Amino acid sequence: MRHYEYRTAEATVRVTDRAPDLHPEAEEILNQVDLPPTHALSVDGAREALRDLLVSDDEPDDDLTVRDLSIPGPDGPGTTLDVRAYTPAAAGADADGRPVFVYFHGGGWVRGDLDTHDGLCRLLAQAADCVVLSVGYRRAPEHPFPAPVYDAYAATAWAAEYAEIVGGDPDRIAVGGDSAGGNLAAAVTLLARERDGPDIDHQVLIYPVTDHDFSTDSYHENAEGYLLSRASMQWYWDRYLADDLDGANPYASPLRASDLSELPSATVVTAGYDPLRDEGAAYADRLREAGVSVTHAEYPGMVHVFVSFPELSRSQDARETIASDLDAAFGR
């Protein structure tokens, strides 16, 4: 694998596969996937299509304890959130209290669930040797913005208080997610800062949505043909926002936050053939300019969702980068 890194006092930028053409592993993904575009489907149809793509019938081959729990939701007594905790087998210095990585699944805030991201969460728990707490937040359009943000924040606050229940250390908390889940993770760090909420050691943003804007170069260059299309992102946003004016809210569009200082260190993963490439890179730049330590891991030849395909070397490389950054953030 060909990559290099450059470092400044504030950031590490890792660039992988500088070739401008689509990587053979990305072509492999595109050849495997034969799904109608999301924007041509009903909400139920879109949800089922993602399950068909990502849910496996294979028995997992890992040494994890997996527990499904219900935790308090953000709307008072009687409201709950479903979460799934992945705890590595006890071993080593962290056996009685591993760091906790609170994870928010992708799917455009509309689709995706605990099952679609079960495989990825298992891989992350093993790679980072930490407890992964996957959050089944409420989805649009039934529950539009800001409901998913408040769910994500409630789950993070719960982890910071009750991590011992799942074998975690409440004093070592990170948040992360892919795509729309990366958007929620970024929003949670903003909300935690504003509310003087739980201390978050690190944020992992995997090809995150950071802005309600379809005018970037990457949106035009990758408008269609690479799994995630411009029209499908518009479809997602239309269902997530009850009002287009909400798109200017920094909890919906973190890139529009006026101040990104004093946020947790970050790992930002972007893919070259992805409409979200430029806004992810722009968010990494804004964090760095605000004095936040950032690793921006670029994969120019890859497409959206590549990290969810565990057999790909680029997916493995991304997971290793994430695990290394989590280790550093947790002081291990």
Sign of the alpha-carbon torsion through 148, 281, 293, 248: negative
**Which spans in the chain are helix H?**
24-32, 43-54, 118-128, 147-162, 180-194, 217-221, 230-240, 277-289, 313-329
Q: Does residue 1 have a pLDDT over 50?
A: no
CB–CB of 86/121 below 8 Å?
yes
Residue 13's pLDDT is 46
- The catalytic residue among 179, 229, 232, 293 is 179
* Mean pLDDT in residue range 246-271: 98
Q: Does residue 61 have a pLDDT over 90?
A: no
Per the annotation, the verdict on 274 as an active-site residue is yes
Q: What is the pLDDT of residues 153-167, one digit of tens each?
A: 999 999 999 999 999
Q: What is the pLDDT of residues 104-121, one digit of tens each?
A: 999 999 999 999 999 999
The torsion angle over the Cα atoms of residues 30, 34, 36 and 39, rounded to 10 degrees, is: -30
- The catalytic residue among 23, 202, 296, 304 is 304
- The catalytic residue among 94, 178, 274, 278 is 274
Dist CA 290 CA 10 (whole Å): 9
Per the annotation, the verdict on 324 as an active-site residue is no
Q: pTM here?
A: 0.93
Per the annotation, the verdict on 61 as an active-site residue is no
| Residue of 128, 114, 124 lying closest to 69 (CA atoms) | 114
Residue 57's pLDDT is 83
